[in-house]
Protein backbone atom coordinates (compact mmCIF):
# COMPACT_ATOMS: atom_id res chain seq x y z
CA UNK A 1 0.00 0.00 0.00
CA UNK A 2 1.33 3.43 -0.90
CA UNK A 3 1.98 6.06 1.72
CA UNK A 4 -1.03 8.17 2.55
CA UNK A 5 -1.23 11.95 2.48
CA UNK A 6 -3.75 11.87 5.36
CA UNK A 7 -3.41 9.41 8.24
CA UNK A 8 -6.45 8.28 10.23
CA UNK A 9 -6.19 7.06 13.82
CA UNK A 10 -8.72 6.58 16.62
CA UNK A 11 -7.90 6.51 20.32
CA UNK A 12 -9.62 7.59 23.52
CA UNK A 13 -12.81 8.64 21.76
CA UNK A 14 -11.00 10.86 19.24
CA UNK A 15 -10.36 10.42 15.52
CA UNK A 16 -7.14 12.14 14.47
CA UNK A 17 -6.64 13.16 10.85
CA UNK A 18 -2.99 14.02 10.24
CA UNK A 19 -1.95 15.89 7.11
CA UNK A 20 1.22 14.01 6.14
CA UNK A 21 2.41 15.28 2.77
CA UNK A 22 5.73 16.90 3.72
CA UNK A 23 7.14 16.94 0.19
CA UNK A 24 4.79 19.83 -0.69
CA UNK A 25 4.18 21.24 2.81
CA UNK A 26 0.77 19.57 3.09
CA UNK A 27 -0.50 21.53 0.09
CA UNK A 28 -4.10 21.03 -0.96
CA UNK A 29 -3.71 18.56 -3.80
CA UNK A 30 -6.46 16.48 -5.34
CA UNK A 31 -5.12 13.43 -3.54
CA UNK A 32 -4.96 15.14 -0.16
CA UNK A 33 -8.53 16.41 -0.58
CA UNK A 34 -9.81 12.95 -1.49
CA UNK A 35 -8.09 11.31 1.48
CA UNK A 36 -9.21 14.02 3.89
CA UNK A 37 -12.81 13.70 2.71
CA UNK A 38 -12.60 9.93 3.23
CA UNK A 39 -11.18 10.47 6.71
CA UNK A 40 -14.01 12.84 7.62
CA UNK A 41 -16.57 10.33 6.35
CA UNK A 42 -14.91 7.55 8.35
CA UNK A 43 -14.93 9.70 11.49
CA UNK A 44 -18.60 10.59 11.02
CA UNK A 45 -19.52 6.89 10.81
CA UNK A 46 -17.23 5.77 13.65
CA UNK A 47 -19.11 5.39 16.94
CA UNK A 48 -15.77 5.21 18.75
CA UNK A 49 -14.97 8.79 17.70
CA UNK A 50 -16.73 11.47 19.74
CA UNK A 51 -14.62 14.24 18.24
CA UNK A 52 -12.11 14.84 15.43
CA UNK A 53 -8.67 16.44 15.59
CA UNK A 54 -7.12 17.80 12.40
CA UNK A 55 -3.35 18.18 12.69
CA UNK A 56 -0.16 17.84 10.66
CA UNK A 57 3.40 16.61 10.43
CA UNK A 58 6.32 18.95 9.76
CA UNK A 59 6.64 22.68 10.16
CA UNK A 60 3.69 23.58 7.92
CA UNK A 61 0.06 22.85 8.73
CA UNK A 62 -1.00 23.58 5.15
CA UNK A 63 0.66 25.71 2.47
CA UNK A 64 -2.54 26.29 0.49
CA UNK A 65 -3.27 25.04 -3.00
CA UNK A 66 -0.83 22.70 -4.68
CA UNK A 67 0.49 25.16 -7.24
CA UNK A 68 1.93 22.39 -9.40
CA UNK A 69 -1.67 21.36 -10.04
CA UNK A 70 -2.87 24.96 -10.20
CA UNK A 71 -0.34 25.65 -12.96
CA UNK A 72 -2.17 23.14 -15.14
CA UNK A 73 0.29 20.29 -14.96
CA UNK A 74 -2.42 17.72 -14.35
CA UNK A 75 -5.94 17.22 -13.10
CA UNK A 76 -7.16 14.98 -10.30
CA UNK A 77 -6.88 11.95 -12.55
CA UNK A 78 -3.43 12.92 -13.78
CA UNK A 79 -4.72 13.79 -17.23
CA UNK A 80 -2.80 16.49 -19.04
CA UNK A 81 -5.39 17.29 -21.72
CA UNK A 82 -7.82 19.23 -19.50
CA UNK A 83 -8.04 22.95 -20.17
CA UNK A 84 -6.94 25.46 -17.49
CA UNK A 85 -10.58 26.46 -17.02
CA UNK A 86 -11.61 22.83 -16.47
CA UNK A 87 -8.78 22.27 -14.02
CA UNK A 88 -9.67 25.43 -12.10
CA UNK A 89 -13.33 24.43 -11.92
CA UNK A 90 -12.37 20.96 -10.69
CA UNK A 91 -10.13 22.35 -7.94
CA UNK A 92 -12.83 24.80 -6.90
CA UNK A 93 -15.45 22.06 -6.58
CA UNK A 94 -13.06 19.99 -4.49
CA UNK A 95 -12.34 22.86 -2.10
CA UNK A 96 -15.98 23.81 -1.65
CA UNK A 97 -16.82 20.19 -0.90
CA UNK A 98 -13.98 19.80 1.57
CA UNK A 99 -14.75 22.94 3.57
CA UNK A 100 -18.44 22.11 3.66
CA UNK A 101 -17.68 18.56 4.84
CA UNK A 102 -15.78 19.93 7.84
CA UNK A 103 -18.49 22.46 8.70
CA UNK A 104 -21.31 19.92 8.29
CA UNK A 105 -19.62 17.06 10.14
CA UNK A 106 -21.92 16.20 13.07
CA UNK A 107 -18.94 15.99 15.42
CA UNK A 108 -16.68 18.75 16.75
CA UNK A 109 -13.51 19.30 14.70
CA UNK A 110 -10.48 20.67 16.54
CA UNK A 111 -7.50 21.95 14.57
CA UNK A 112 -4.13 21.54 16.30
CA UNK A 113 -1.67 23.83 14.54
CA UNK A 114 2.05 23.90 15.21
CA UNK A 115 3.34 25.42 12.00
CA UNK A 116 2.67 27.69 9.07
CA UNK A 117 -0.80 28.20 7.60
CA UNK A 118 -1.19 29.86 4.23
CA UNK A 119 -3.97 30.62 1.75
CA UNK A 120 -6.27 27.58 1.42
CA UNK A 121 -4.93 26.25 4.71
CA UNK A 122 -6.62 29.25 6.32
CA UNK A 123 -9.90 27.93 4.95
CA UNK A 124 -9.35 24.62 6.75
CA UNK A 125 -8.65 26.49 10.00
CA UNK A 126 -11.76 28.62 9.55
CA UNK A 127 -13.92 25.55 8.96
CA UNK A 128 -12.91 23.89 12.23
CA UNK A 129 -14.98 24.44 15.36
CA UNK A 130 -12.05 24.94 17.73
CA UNK A 131 -8.50 25.89 16.79
CA UNK A 132 -5.49 25.62 19.08
CA UNK A 133 -2.17 27.00 17.86
CA UNK A 134 1.32 26.59 19.28
CA UNK A 135 4.03 29.27 19.42
CA UNK A 136 5.61 28.33 16.08
CA UNK A 137 2.39 28.93 14.15
CA UNK A 138 2.11 31.67 11.55
CA UNK A 139 -0.81 32.66 9.35
CA UNK A 140 -1.25 34.55 6.07
CA UNK A 141 -3.83 35.06 3.33
CA UNK A 142 -1.37 35.26 0.45
CA UNK A 143 -3.75 35.08 -2.51
CA UNK A 144 -3.57 38.77 -3.48
CA UNK A 145 0.20 38.45 -3.81
CA UNK A 146 -0.34 35.76 -6.46
CA UNK A 147 -2.91 37.70 -8.47
CA UNK A 148 -5.75 35.75 -6.85
CA UNK A 149 -8.35 36.32 -4.14
CA UNK A 150 -9.34 34.19 -1.15
CA UNK A 151 -12.65 33.44 -2.85
CA UNK A 152 -13.85 30.07 -1.58
CA UNK A 153 -12.08 30.19 1.77
CA UNK A 154 -13.76 33.52 2.54
CA UNK A 155 -16.82 31.40 3.35
CA UNK A 156 -15.10 30.01 6.44
CA UNK A 157 -12.50 32.69 7.24
CA UNK A 158 -14.50 35.93 7.15
CA UNK A 159 -17.07 34.73 9.72
CA UNK A 160 -14.20 34.12 12.16
CA UNK A 161 -12.44 37.49 11.79
CA UNK A 162 -13.25 40.98 12.94
CA UNK A 163 -14.22 43.20 10.02
CA UNK A 164 -11.09 45.33 10.35
CA UNK A 165 -8.82 42.28 10.45
CA UNK A 166 -10.44 40.85 7.33
CA UNK A 167 -10.03 44.16 5.55
CA UNK A 168 -6.33 44.22 6.40
CA UNK A 169 -5.14 40.66 5.97
CA UNK A 170 -7.20 39.75 2.89
CA UNK A 171 -5.62 42.74 1.15
CA UNK A 172 -2.03 42.86 2.41
CA UNK A 173 -1.12 39.17 2.59
CA UNK A 174 0.87 39.96 5.73
CA UNK A 175 2.08 37.19 8.01
CA UNK A 176 0.92 37.19 11.64
CA UNK A 177 1.43 35.00 14.66
CA UNK A 178 -0.78 32.99 17.00
CA UNK A 179 -1.50 35.77 19.50
CA UNK A 180 -2.72 38.10 16.75
CA UNK A 181 -4.72 35.18 15.31
CA UNK A 182 -6.39 34.72 18.68
CA UNK A 183 -7.05 38.45 19.09
CA UNK A 184 -8.85 38.72 15.73
CA UNK A 185 -10.86 35.52 16.20
CA UNK A 186 -9.20 33.22 13.66
CA UNK A 187 -8.14 30.73 16.33
CA UNK A 188 -9.61 29.83 19.70
CA UNK A 189 -6.43 29.87 21.75
CA UNK A 190 -2.69 30.50 21.39
CA UNK A 191 -0.82 28.16 23.73
CA UNK A 192 2.66 26.91 24.56
CA UNK A 193 1.70 23.24 24.37
CA UNK A 194 -0.99 22.53 21.82
CA UNK A 195 -1.01 18.81 22.47
CA UNK A 196 -1.88 19.19 26.16
CA UNK A 197 -4.57 21.77 25.43
CA UNK A 198 -6.19 19.61 22.76
CA UNK A 199 -6.09 16.62 25.09
CA UNK A 200 -8.02 18.63 27.68
CA UNK A 201 -10.58 19.73 25.10
CA UNK A 202 -11.11 16.16 23.90
CA UNK A 203 -11.60 15.06 27.50
CA UNK A 204 -14.21 17.77 28.02
CA UNK A 205 -16.06 16.80 24.82
CA UNK A 206 -16.23 13.16 25.92
CA UNK A 207 -18.60 14.30 28.68
CA UNK A 208 -21.13 15.48 26.08
CA UNK A 209 -23.69 13.32 24.30
CA UNK A 210 -23.33 12.75 20.54
CA UNK A 211 -26.75 14.30 19.99
CA UNK A 212 -25.92 17.27 22.18
CA UNK A 213 -22.70 17.89 20.27
CA UNK A 214 -24.31 17.54 16.85
CA UNK A 215 -27.25 19.81 17.61
CA UNK A 216 -25.08 22.38 19.38
CA UNK A 217 -22.69 22.49 16.43
CA UNK A 218 -25.61 23.18 14.09
CA UNK A 219 -26.33 26.36 16.03
CA UNK A 220 -22.80 27.64 15.48
CA UNK A 221 -22.52 26.69 11.80
CA UNK A 222 -25.99 27.33 10.36
CA UNK A 223 -25.20 30.86 9.17
CA UNK A 224 -21.93 29.80 7.62
CA UNK A 225 -23.75 27.05 5.73
CA UNK A 226 -26.33 29.59 4.56
CA UNK A 227 -23.45 31.55 3.04
CA UNK A 228 -22.27 28.41 1.24
CA UNK A 229 -25.75 28.15 -0.30
CA UNK A 230 -26.05 31.85 -1.05
CA UNK A 231 -22.59 32.72 -2.32
CA UNK A 232 -20.88 29.41 -3.09
CA UNK A 233 -21.52 29.37 -6.85
CA UNK A 234 -20.55 33.03 -7.31
CA UNK A 235 -17.32 32.59 -5.38
CA UNK A 236 -16.52 29.37 -7.20
CA UNK A 237 -16.90 31.15 -10.54
CA UNK A 238 -14.67 33.99 -9.32
CA UNK A 239 -12.01 31.56 -8.13
CA UNK A 240 -11.96 29.58 -11.37
CA UNK A 241 -11.79 32.76 -13.47
CA UNK A 242 -8.96 34.23 -11.43
CA UNK A 243 -6.80 31.11 -11.75
CA UNK A 244 -6.91 31.50 -15.53
CA UNK A 245 -6.13 35.22 -15.51
CA UNK A 246 -2.89 36.77 -16.74
CA UNK A 247 -2.06 38.17 -13.30
CA UNK A 248 -2.50 34.77 -11.64
CA UNK A 249 -0.47 32.95 -14.29
CA UNK A 250 2.35 35.42 -13.75
CA UNK A 251 1.99 35.32 -9.95
CA UNK A 252 2.03 31.53 -9.72
CA UNK A 253 4.87 31.24 -12.24
CA UNK A 254 6.91 33.81 -10.33
CA UNK A 255 6.26 32.03 -7.05
CA UNK A 256 7.39 28.69 -8.45
CA UNK A 257 10.47 30.33 -9.98
CA UNK A 258 11.17 32.14 -6.69
CA UNK A 259 11.22 35.59 -8.22
CA UNK A 260 9.05 38.71 -7.83
CA UNK A 261 6.11 38.88 -10.25
CA UNK A 262 6.40 41.50 -12.99
CA UNK A 263 3.56 43.57 -11.55
CA UNK A 264 5.05 43.79 -8.04
CA UNK A 265 6.27 47.25 -7.02
CA UNK A 266 9.24 47.53 -4.66
CA UNK A 267 8.48 49.66 -1.63
Q: List, for the chain, all residue ranges whose pLDDT scores fall below the cut of 50.
A: 1, 74-79
Task: Please name the CATH architecture into which domain 6-192 falls.
Answer: Alpha-Beta Complex (3.90)
Of the candidates 147, 158, 149, 102, the one whose C-alpha atom is nearest the C-alpha of residue 261 is: 147
Helix (H, G, I), strand (E, B) or coil at 229: helix
Question: CA–CA separation, 35 vs 7, rounded Å?
Answer: 8
Q: Give the whole-angstrom CA distance, residue 99 versus residue 200.
A: 25
Q: What SS3 class is residue 4?
A: coil
What pLDDT does residue 71 have? 59
Residue 212 forms beta bridges with which residues? none
In whole angstroms, give the CA distance from residue 123 to residue 235: 14
Give pLDDT, residue 1. 41
Amino acid sequence: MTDRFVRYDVADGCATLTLDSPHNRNAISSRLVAELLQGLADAAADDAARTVVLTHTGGTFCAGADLSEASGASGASGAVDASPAELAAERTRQMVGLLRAIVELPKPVIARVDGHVRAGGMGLVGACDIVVAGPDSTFALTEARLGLAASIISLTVIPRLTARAAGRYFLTGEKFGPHEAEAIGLISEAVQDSEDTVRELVSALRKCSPQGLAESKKLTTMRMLEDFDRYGEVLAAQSAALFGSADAVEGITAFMQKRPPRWAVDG
